[in-house]
Amino acid sequence: MKVKTLDELSKLADYSLVDTLTPDPDATHDGVDHYPREVFSGHYVPVKPTPIENPTYIAHSKQFFEELGFDDDLATSEDFMKMFSGDSSGFPEPLKKQGWATGYALSIYGTEYYEQCPFRTGNGYGDGRAVSILEAVINGKRWEMQLKGGGRTPYCRGADGRAVLRSSIREFLAQEHMHALGVPTSRSLTLYTSKTEKVRRPWFRNGSYSRDPEVMIEEDVAITTRVAPSFLRVGQVELFGRRARKKEHTRAMEELEQIVLHVIEREYKDEIEESLPLEQKVVLLAKAFQNRLTSLVADWIRIGYCQGNFNSDNTAVGGFTLDYGPFGFMDMFDPRYQPWTGGGAHFSFLNQPQAAERNFGMFIAALKPLLDADKEAGQQLEMIEKQFPRVMQGKMIKMWGAKLGLEHFDAELFNDLVTLMVESSVDYTIFFRELSNIPEDISTLKKSFYGDANYNEKLLVRWIEWLERWKTLIDVKTVPEREKLSQKMKKVNPKYTLREWFLVPAYQAAQREDYTLMHELLEVMNNPYAELSKEMEEKYYRLKPDELFRVAGISHVSCSS
């Protein structure tokens, strides 16, 4: 039975888990709480979303609707549209008219920060424009639904609480693409925009090469609803860990314990036995999260994804991708690829394992106060922390092995490949996809070369030698064996990734109310491993045109909101 109406959807609401948490004792009763203020305690602030004006439908994820059992017509029905564009006035029972926003702490590459909060205490930092409005159990699975751009909360830090159409389209498409790539992620439900409500954002002049934004532009606002088992972040656990460590208030330790048990219930229920004592649960949680986080980062690298802003508050404790802000899918292979001008080298492409380790370290630090009385558990936690590089390395080796179709990873072959890829300026996606065809010679691999590598005899000779060595290692003797390996490699080496220069014309057209490109991208990027039509191949399986390199807003972004 499909969910066809908001009434039917409301029957699936189940706030029983969020209701076990502690609301901010200073919160207003009506949820009208839209100015920056310090929130000293509690796990969330009840807050009403602010609807966008005259919401217009742009897209919903058909695939995700199908998975949830939602009828497609729901996405354009009046009351559903109202709900997911921020208007809670007409909600049927038992839906809550107030949503909730959560506070979190920030650390960047393993250092605690407080300055990002207007009060310099960390008490004003959290979901500034993300408002959760529903927790529902659908076909036995619990989902939280969150409006991004749903208006100001006490954590808005003076900003407008909105997301613009440009960034919302990027996020909407990227989430579904990531899922199709087989990488854990929050999902996209719907995307609505307003043609009358606008906000101003710093941006670049057309065709500019500037690293920093040069002008203020006016943009349409939009709301994407994202969906996940929870939106718990490392930064959130950190907030309570810091408060407990500093004994900031009498309930600080209790609130930390509550949030940690909540994390287990929401994200690790199947892996951690309910009846265990708290200390053991904490140790198992650390281990389980380490396992997920390391797999996630290896997956990002497999598909050429750089998160750009991999702070602890952008790290989901459930171990999935969250916050599609200044992200990017790499074109030309560069170990130091970083699409965000504000991001720095520590969050660059091949440094993501190290950044993950730092975030993991902050997670461990947040858990520590709970183990003060149990020395042995404390030591186990430290052991787990120390194991991070080894676990991460293991996942990386497995991933590179799979990308190369090798049973046993060969470090020398791999290192030589990285050197060659850098020296030849190779398109990351096209190279591995072409290699997955197990080519006779290097002629098809050359499709992935940018620049002059094609005319560099010495380099070509090295490529020929490298390919020969690779072939001896993959050891396929018969045609069926070769076909089998090729198919296997094509399942880990996508043909299509959501490059920024595909996104730009799609959101530009959307600003003119032309959504064809956006829908085409949704279709193509939902099938990233497939062989699609010749037309799609010519459009989306090709090198980035020369003239788009270094162009602001295409090769790098400054602001994502």
Ligand X SMILES: Nc1ncnc2c1ncn2[C@@H]1O[C@H](COP(=O)(O)OP(=O)(O)OP(=O)(O)O)[C@@H](O)[C@H]1O
Shortest distance, CB of residue 155 to ligand X, whole angstroms?
6
Tell the burial category of 412 from Cβ atoms under 10 Å away from its Cβ (0-12, 13-18, 19+): exposed
- Which of the listed partners (Mg ion, ligand X, none) does 103 bind, with a CB threshold of 5 to 8 Å by partner kind? none
Burial 489-525 (b: 16+ CB within 10 A, else e): bbebbbbbbbbbebbbebbeebeeeebebbeebbebb
Residue among 161, 213, 328, 353 that touches ligand X (CB under 6 A):
161
Burial 316-346 (b: 16+ CB within 10 A, else e): bbbbbbbbbbbbbbbbbbbeebbbbbbbeee
Omega within 30 of 0 (cis) for the link into 25:
no
| Residue 148 labelled as part of a binding site | yes
Shortest distance, CB of residue 313 to Mg ion, whole angstroms?
6
Place of tokens 């809670």: 88
Strand partners, 136: 13, 143
Range 76-135, binding ligand X (CB under 6 A): 126-130
Q: Does 264 bind ligand X (CB under 6 A)?
A: no
Distances (CA, A) of 510 to 41, 115, 215, 325: 41, 36, 21, 19
| Residue 126 labelled as part of a binding site | yes
Contacts for 548-551 with beta carbons within 8 Å, 24 or more apart?
A: 548/501, 550/209, 551/207, 551/208, 551/209
- Residue 222 φ/ψ, nearest 5 degrees: -155, 160
Segment near Mg ion (CB under 5 A), from 48-56, 129-137, 322-330, 536-544?
322-330
Q: Which is nearer to Mg ion, 314 or 348 (CB)?
A: 314
* CA-based nearest residue to 529, from 500, 475, 488, 477: 488
Give the distance, in angstroms, between the CA of residue 383 and the centroid of all CA atoms in the same chain: 28
Closest residue to Mg ion in the complex (CB) = 323
Residue among 39, 47, 147, 156 that touches ligand X (CB under 6 A):
156
Q: Which is nearer to Mg ion, 124 or 405 (CB)?
A: 124
- DSSP letter for 335, please: T
Q: Which is nearer to Mg ion, 129 or 395 (CB)?
A: 129
Q: Which of 313, 372, 410, 475 is catalytic?
A: 313
Shortest distance, CB of residue 357 to ligand X, whole angstroms?
20
| Residue 211 labelled as part of a binding site | no
Q: CB of 144 within 8 A of CB of 22?
A: no
| Residue 128 labelled as part of a binding site | yes
- Which of the listed partners (ligand X, Mg ion, none) does 130 bind, with a CB threshold of 5 to 8 Å by partner kind? ligand X
Residue among 176, 219, 267, 323 that touches Mg ion (CB under 5 A):
323
Would you call 85 helix, strand, or coil by DSSP? coil
Please work out, in degrees rounded to the nearest 5, the angle formed at the alpha carbon of residue 222 by the alpha carbons of 554 and 296.
60
- Which of the listed partners (ligand X, Mg ion, none) does 127 bind, with a CB threshold of 5 to 8 Å by partner kind? ligand X
Residue among 162, 187, 243, 287 that touches ligand X (CB under 6 A):
162
> Would residue 313 show up in a list of annotated catalytic residues for this protein?
yes
Q: Does 49 bind ligand X (CB under 6 A)?
A: no
- Which of the listed partners (Mg ion, ligand X, none) does 135 bind, with a CB threshold of 5 to 8 Å by partner kind? none
Q: Which is nearer to ligand X, 310 or 388 (CB)?
A: 310
Q: How many residues bind ligand X (CB under 6 A)?
A: 18
What character string, x for contact with ligand X (CB under 6 A) and - otherwise, covers 290-329? Answer: -------------------x----x--------x-x----
- Which of the listed partners (ligand X, Mg ion, none) does 354 bind, with a CB threshold of 5 to 8 Å by partner kind? none
Q: Which is nearer to ligand X, 309 or 448 (CB)?
A: 309
Q: How many residues bind Mg ion (CB under 5 A)?
A: 2
- What are the residues whose beta carbons fall under 8 Å from the beta carbon of 516, sequence distance 6 or more? 509
Q: Does 314 bind Mg ion (CB under 5 A)?
A: yes
Q: Does 238 bind Mg ion (CB under 5 A)?
A: no
Q: Does 160 bind ligand X (CB under 6 A)?
A: yes
Q: Which is nearer to Mg ion, 299 or 323 (CB)?
A: 323
Q: CB of 380 within 8 A of CB of 277?
A: no
Q: Are strands 305-306 and 328-329 parallel, antiparallel or unpaired?
A: antiparallel
Up-side HSE of residue 237: CA atoms within 13 Å toward CB? 34
Q: Which residues carry a binding-site annotation for ATP?
A: 126, 128-129, 148, 160-161, 226, 233, 323
Catalytic positions = 313
Q: Please report, as ranges, the residues that interact with Mg ion according to CB under 5 A.
A: 314, 323
Binding site for ligand X (CB under 6 A): 126-130, 155-157, 159-162, 309, 314, 323, 325, 560-561
Positions at the binding site for Mg(2+): 314, 323
